[in-house]
Amino acid sequence: MSAPLRLMAVHAHPDDESSKGAATMARYVREGVDVLVATCTGGERGSVLNPKMDRPDVLENIGEVRRLEMERAREILGVEQRFLGFVDSGLPDDETEPLPDGCFAVQPIEVAAAPLVALVREFRPHVILTYDDNGGYPHPDHIMTNRISIEAFEAAGDPDKYPGTGEPWQPLKLYYHMGFSKERFEALHEAMNERGMGSPYADWIARWEDRPEKWDVTTRVPCADYFEIRDLALIAHATQVDPDGFWFVCPREIQQEVWPTEDYHLARSLVDTSLPEDDLFTGIHAEVTPACS
């Protein structure tokens, strides 16, 4: 019997794990992979984005509500989940506006990365998923999530770094989420128009014209059979996701037919692989040491 493969997804807030890579995680869990979501903050400064949940009792207890939502989404996906304990930085209306004292995004990198290094050394993932260096979009917590993920990938295996945070462990591959590519939205846009449904993506695509993709897609993971689980996990984050809103405007059946993968950019690899890939563990399966019986 072989030791299980292990996947860690590092996210900024509760709900990010359900909007980025959720079907991939659901697939791997059901194939016997150990999957852990590391959530950097509690989402305490997040807005209520679902008008149905815009109530005083929710606003007064937003941190606790979002933790309960995270637990429900975790159960649906079948993953483990840990909070790193930092406070949500919020999203300033003005880039010149200072971030709140003590929030996640203003921490020194060695402070922000230490809990993640400790978790990497405890969980021992073979693969780590995170955001690109712009955070996927320029939220300060997403950008810091990228920074600490890279720091943990590069430092967790070094016994001289972050003493007192466990025995060294070196992950083998690091990926960036690429689920919001122009190519994907163009394909969904065309499919909806061809079916006479009209598409909500035209304005979004138009705004993309002068914004070239910085990272290429290296890895497409087939996971269409798990889109329903992804959607249920999204809906579990009721303060953040309107079941009648943007996330569900394109019917699931069209998504499964037109774009049946979740997509990634391979940012670091310590194993030999051949691009393009269809599996995050390409090149790793042979590296896993058989478990002792």
Instruction: Give the C-alpha separation, 46 to 49, whole Å.
Output: 9
DSSP notation for 138-179: --HHHHHHHHHHHHHHHHTT-TTSSTTS-S----SEEEEE-T
Q: Measuring CA to CA, how many Å separate 164 from each of 111, 118, 147, 167, 243?
A: 13, 8, 21, 8, 44
3-class DSSP assignment, residue 269: strand
Instruction: Give the C-alpha separation, 254 to 268, whole Å.
Output: 33
Residues annotated within a binding site for Zn(2+): 13, 16, 142
Q: Which of 139, 127, 167, 145 is nearest to 273 (CA)?
A: 127
Q: Which of 154, 118, 100, 128 is nearest to 21 (CA)?
A: 128
DSSP notation for 121-132: HHH--SEEEE--
Amino acid (1-letter code) at residue 18: S
Q: What residues form DSSP beta bridges with 269?
A: 173
Residues annotated within a binding site: 13, 16, 142
Strand order in the sheet with 261-269: 80-86, 34-41, 6-11, 127-130, 173-177, 261-269, 219-222
